[in-house]
Amino acid sequence: MSLVDSAPSSHTHDAAASAALNAEDRARILAKAALFSPPDATLPDGRRDLVGLSRDELTELLVEIGEKPFRTKQLWHWIYHQGVTDFSAMSSIAKPLQAKLAERFVVGRPQAAMVQTSTDETRKFLFRFRDGQEAETVYIPDRREDRGAVCISSQVGCTLSCTFCHTGTQKLVRNLGAAEIVGQFMAARDSYSEWPSPKGDTPRLLSTIVLMGMGEPLYKYENIAKAMKIIMDGEGIALSRRRITLSTSGVVPLMDRCGEELGINLAVSLHAVTNELRNEIVPLNRKYPIEEVLAACRRYPAANNSRRITFEYIMLRGVNDSEADARELVRLISGLPAKVNLIPFNPWPGSAYRPSTREQQNKFAQIIMDAGFSSPIRTPRGRDILAACGQLKTESERIRAAQS
């Protein structure tokens, strides 16, 4: 079953019809996403996981067990600022209440089924969730500074089947819930002992989030939105919206909402400059073609000259890497507050493409830079542990078999 219909959309409708269509599409995507829901937040023993609840939901639960709403602030601090998972370590809460909470609730974490560290220090986690499903999270340290980015997955698998992506070869198993999305970040922090959360601008290793792991984050926008609101909450993890980037393959109806509600940075996986090629390599293009994706970028509320939209462009030898392609790319994005991130293709077993030559990458980058756009070529990280972009796929069984 696919989350999207692949019928091409009409390009002739006027703005009002387009808005109505967007609303309709948005409703359809959200309804379908519900079919791929994460497991219930209540454990088999009846205890409820508190991670992933909004403040209001947490308050409701506390009131249900006869506690005052002000406890929410206390618990929030312990869970999201201190990173504590054990109620008995919550020292500002009296012992009897600690016991009462422990009887009814847990502060959950996904289980690290595997952790691999690359020769370049990139660390890949395979997290197992309560129903046994697994997804990968990658920590990518910055080479120059004592900080880095956590690359978070949004789905187990992906429905979209981009031809160059390893995740796309795995069919969608399910969406990840807010608890599982926040949980990936919290568990990665556990691994680096990075609690409590910093106040203000105190640097931390795990200082940035990129929603660029397995899956299409805008196909489960509500879960992502809930998780990001928890992560941005100033009394908890308190990560600024400027330090969070969501990468989408171009789910147009939800791009606006993401900008309005969350105000996080946007990255768009463009990868081709003609609809003909993009239809083939990013099949979602048949639904939301290049011109609609770019129009959504032009409207994106959280973009300006100090916060540019990143266009991701994978360099596939002889497929999309000509100088004419580079010039067309410049034409398409002209006038946008944009930068282009050129991604060398990361091969995976069975992939059909080859990376562009270094020379071709440089020529391509130069054309974009000459037009005034920053155009870094992304250094592949963690290739030795299949942690680089597009290499993620839950292959625990295979790796475990290879190790035993």
Catalytic amino acids? Answer: 136, 389
Write the DSSP string, 140-193.
EE-SSSS-EEEE---EES-SS--TT-SGGGSPP-EEPPHHHHHHHHHHHHHHTT
Least gap, CB of 375 to ligand SF4 (angstroms): 20
CA 231 – CA 107 distance, rounded (Å): 15
Least gap, CB of 239 to ligand SAH (angstroms): 19
- Interface pick for ligand SAH out of 179, 212, 225, 237 (rule CB under 6 A): 212
Closest to ligand SF4 by CB, 158 vs 237, is 158
CA 47 – CA 103 distance, rounded (Å): 7
DSSP bridge pairs for 206:
148
- Interface pick for ligand SAH out of 22, 72, 197, 248 (rule CB under 6 A): 248
- Interface pick for ligand SAH out of 22, 170, 208, 249 (rule CB under 6 A): 249
CA 302 – CA 236 distance, rounded (Å): 23
- The percent helix, strand, coil of the chain (3-state, each to 5) is 40, 15, 45
- Interface pick for ligand SAH out of 118, 184, 265, 269 (rule CB under 6 A): 269
Task: Please name the residues in contact with 324: beta carbons below 8 A apart, sequence gap of 6 or more.
Answer: none
Closest to ligand SAH by CB, 204 vs 393, is 393
- Interface pick for ligand SAH out of 227, 343, 385, 387 (rule CB under 6 A): 343
Work out what residue 290 binds among ligand SF4, ligand SAH, none; the CB cut-off runs from 5 to 8 Å by kind: none
Least gap, CB of 215 to ligand SAH (angstroms): 6
Tell me if 339 sits within 8 A of 310, measured CB to CB: yes
Least gap, CB of 21 to ligand SF4 (angstroms): 21
DSSP 388: S
Q: How far is CA 34 from CA 31, 75, 122, 377, 397, in A?
A: 5, 29, 33, 37, 28
Closest to ligand SAH by CB, 247 vs 361, is 247
Work out what residue 346 binds among ligand SAH, ligand SF4, none; the CB cut-off runs from 5 to 8 Å by kind: ligand SAH
Q: Which residues of the shown chain bind ligand SF4 in the complex (CB under 6 A)?
A: 158, 160-162, 165, 167-168, 215-216, 249, 269
DSSP 376: P
CA 230 – CA 52 distance, rounded (Å): 7
Work out what residue 345 binds among ligand SF4, ligand SAH, none; the CB cut-off runs from 5 to 8 Å by kind: ligand SAH
Closest to ligand SF4 by CB, 52 vs 390, is 390
Least gap, CB of 379 to ligand SAH (angstroms): 12
Work out what residue 312 binds among ligand SAH, ligand SF4, none; the CB cut-off runs from 5 to 8 Å by kind: ligand SAH
Tell me if 305 sits within 8 A of 336, measured CB to CB: no
Closest to ligand SF4 by CB, 227 vs 251, is 251
Tell me if 156 sits within 8 A of 113, measured CB to CB: no
Tell me if 62 sits within 8 A of 69, measured CB to CB: yes
The yes or no reply on residue 247 touching ligand SAH (CB under 6 A) is: yes
Closest to ligand SAH by CB, 59 vs 245, is 245
DSSP 307: B
Least gap, CB of 81 to ligand SF4 (angstroms): 32
| Interacting residue ranges for ligand SAH, rule: CB under 6 A | 162, 164-165, 212, 215-216, 247-249, 269, 312, 314, 343, 345-346, 389-390
